[in-house]
Amino acid sequence: MDMVAKSAPGTFERLRLVLFMAASAACVVAAFTPRLAIAEPVTAADLISASASDSGANWLTHGRDYAETRFSPLDQINADNVSDLGLAWTLDTGSTRGLEATPLVADGVLYFTLPWSIVIAFDANSGEQLWQHDPQVDRSIGWKACCDVVNRGVALYDDKLYFGALDGRLIALDADTGEPVWTVQTTDVGRPYTITGAPRVADGLVIIGNGGAELGSRGYVTAYDAETGAERWRFWVVPGNPADGFENEDVERAAATWSGNWWDVGGGGNAWDAIAYDPEARLIYVGTGNGSPWSHELRSDGVGDNLYLSSIVALHVETGRVAWHYQTTPGDNWDYTATQQLTLATLAIDGVERQVIMQAPKNGFFYVLDRITGELLSAEPYARVTWASGIDPDTGRPIETPQARYSEAVSVISPSPVGAHGWQPMSFSPETGLVYIPTQSNSYNYAIKAEFEYTPGVWNRGTATGLLDALRRFPESDYGEGTGPPHPTIGQLLAWDPVARRVRWQVDYPTHSNGGTLATAGNLVFQGTAAGHLLAYRADTGETLWDVDLGQGILAPPITYLVGDRQFLSVLVGWGGATALYGYNGSGEYKAPGRLWTFVLGGGQDFDPVRGIERPTLTAIDYDDRRSVQARGGNLYAERCAMCHGGNAVGGGVLADLRYSGEAVFTIFEMIVNAGLYSEVGMPRFGDVLTVADTSAIRNYLLAQRAALIAAQ
């Protein structure tokens, strides 16, 4: 089937093709699919040479190359012709949860992941799905995922495909058939660990981290033999209980920077996304996460740097032992993960070529380090930052502002826990020398929760759950109830010059939590937005060259590759993730179905954006409006429900906005919440932690919010 030739079918036929492919993908069953294509095995040499100028046909590893540049040398689609891009094909995913994956491409075969860690292989040559593998993650553990049941992708090596399942398994599949080869449980299933990140393969090892710092866990990164799944090494990001002994000297050194009983909650540091590799230096680079709990005072008596939280850590690939570390946020107190993408490059700094590693972590500073020695070369704020006035170039340490530690009052601090940059990848073009970063400026009302104690099954942040809770804890604070966050959240695309340490151009968006970026040799930067637009910009100037409306918000980064001799652009579109679950919805669509979109020069121009479902018309339901019931329900909702169904009961368009629930839901509310009636679709059972009276209070709180919505309509 030739779906893209210039002699292509007219609009009608093209549309039919799109519909056919969408329908066929939905019903294909893996075991009965005829073999249509086999990608050549991915060798170690292929992975090392993935950054070469003739490597553009494929996208073999998460960041396209070990340097994680997300730069494609392809230039068939370029600044002169990008406006001719049109639709090649689409694939409906059958999911309404967040889509965050970077597809990999080998010889025209796309491998990508969906929510609940489902893996799909799709042959772009023929337009057929090759296989689908569902690891059957128990939907009742969805609550362990702080930030949606997402998955960011797979790794390819030799004849195998590797991915992490949400429940902590690392699974190797036969890349041709999707049949499992080996599986290891990488986590303690008794703790709230998840895997959402893509594994990387380096030196014959599959390297995988985990998430879980919000709920309470001890982060680590493990390397497994790619052939057998045997464990080779583990890097513990934070120490465990010293009474149990230390795993090695790296952990012992870290323990000297901690105080208190941090191991009760876990300490955190979970490395859930960023991994890069320098095959010449034989160093693995890992970006580590925030403290668990967030509050430094509750976690470590307010004492010590708490290594290796919020750090860029270089590990020897043979041993997993620390070569050097740089801590971006000593004594993390704000959920400032340094798990954001790590990118390797060669930059001329002060006239000297340096092998650097770059990161724009949540804390708002853009770091450039010598990646061999760990020396700090520069650190400049790239967004609104109020927790530190700068980074001392001599010590490499932040210069904290007086309001940064919030033990005595509510403190309004930028960035917020969402960060100035999320997991959405940046890209680096060696041709422009610019880094294209999806950023945002924001703030948050931090307040300590002094009566904190570790509670299994909930977020253990040690901080107030929102502005009203913060003000309740610190009523003397000098700004009034209802003023909200004093700094509005603003989303931007920055073209950052890492040598000059400043912005070259920027795009201001009305939305935040926008998608990851792709840079190409066609002098282009591609990015999707939370409003659902996919855009192309001139990489050197920022001029908008192409803009299509795909409907719902876009998080995932686009990729580009060749099928035959034609360049394609693909992006997964599915709103979700942490900010969406907490209630932010940039497009306003509700439960819109996820889709993989693929574009090509000369493709179809006649396509419709994907829309969500209509919100139902609301009818009033009687409820108990006594203040004591409402306060109890509101507090319980904030603690148990808000992280998935939205702050203040306002949903972000992914999961049910509970104000809109049908009358039947409110009739059987206690069965759903306490008895786990909907556990098969990911709604946890709360019967062990909520009483019938608790659940009744939550129900009454929700009905009050529903009544307020009706009154406002």
Q: How far is the CB of 678 from Ca ion (least distance, A)?
A: 26
Using the minimum distance from each CB to Ca ion, give the nearer residue, 110 or 309: 309
CB 256 within 8 A of CB 245: no
Using the minimum distance from each CB to Ca ion, give the nearer residue, 335 or 657: 335
Using the minimum distance from each CB to Ca ion, give the nearer residue, 288 or 290: 290
Using the minimum distance from each CB to Ca ion, give the nearer residue, 160 or 362: 362
* Cβ count within 10 A of residue 40: 12
Q: 278 has which bridge partners?
A: 283
* Cβ count within 10 A of residue 383: 23
Q: How far is the CB of 192 from Ca ion (least distance, A)?
A: 13
For the sheet containing 544-549, what is the strand order? 71-72, 517-520, 524-528, 533-538, 544-549
Q: Which of 168, 151, 288, 264 is CA-nearest to residue 216?
A: 264
Alpha-carbon separation of residue 150 from 33, 470, 528 (angstroms): 26, 30, 18
Using the minimum distance from each CB to Ca ion, give the nearer residue, 250 or 335: 335
Using the minimum distance from each CB to Ca ion, give the nearer residue, 273 or 335: 335
Buried b (16+ CB within 10 A) or exposed e, 172-191: bbebbbbeebbebebbeeeb
| Catalytic (active site) residue 335 | yes
Q: Measured between alpha carbons, how far is 517 from 168 in angstroms, rounded to an integer?
A: 28
Q: Measured between alpha carbons, how far is 121 from 132 in angstroms, rounded to an integer?
A: 6
Q: How far is the CB of 211 from Ca ion (least distance, A)?
A: 8
The rounded Cα 659 to chain-centroid distance in angstroms is 27
Task: Show the tokens assigned to 62.
Answer: 């998460």
Q: How far is the CB of 271 from Ca ion (least distance, A)?
A: 11
Helical spans, DSSP H, in 43-83 = 44-48
Torsion sign (Cα): 529, 533, 534, 536: negative
CB 101 within 8 A of CB 151: yes
Q: How far is the CB of 335 from Ca ion (least distance, A)?
A: 5
Q: State the residues that interact with Ca ion by CB under 5 A.
A: 290, 335
Using the minimum distance from each CB to Ca ion, give the nearer residue, 202 or 309: 309
Task: Show the tokens assigned to 667.
Answer: 């009739």
Q: Which residues have CB under 8 Å from 287's CB, separation 6+?
A: 271, 273, 274, 275, 311, 312, 313, 337, 338, 339, 340, 341, 342, 359, 361
Q: How far is the CB of 301 from Ca ion (least distance, A)?
A: 21
Q: How far is the CB of 577 from Ca ion (least distance, A)?
A: 12
Using the minimum distance from each CB to Ca ion, give the nearer residue, 262 or 669: 262
Q: How far is the CB of 293 from Ca ion (least distance, A)?
A: 11
Radius of gyration of the chain (CA): 24
3-state SS, residue 660 = helix
Q: Measured between alpha carbons, how far is 647 from 584 in angstroms, rounded to an integer?
A: 9
State the DSSP string of 142-170: GGG-TT-S-----EEEBTEEEEE-TTSEE
Q: Which is the catalytic residue, given 123, 148, 176, 335?
A: 335
Q: Measured between alpha carbons, how far is 635 from 459 in angstroms, rounded to an integer?
A: 14
Catalytic residue set: 335
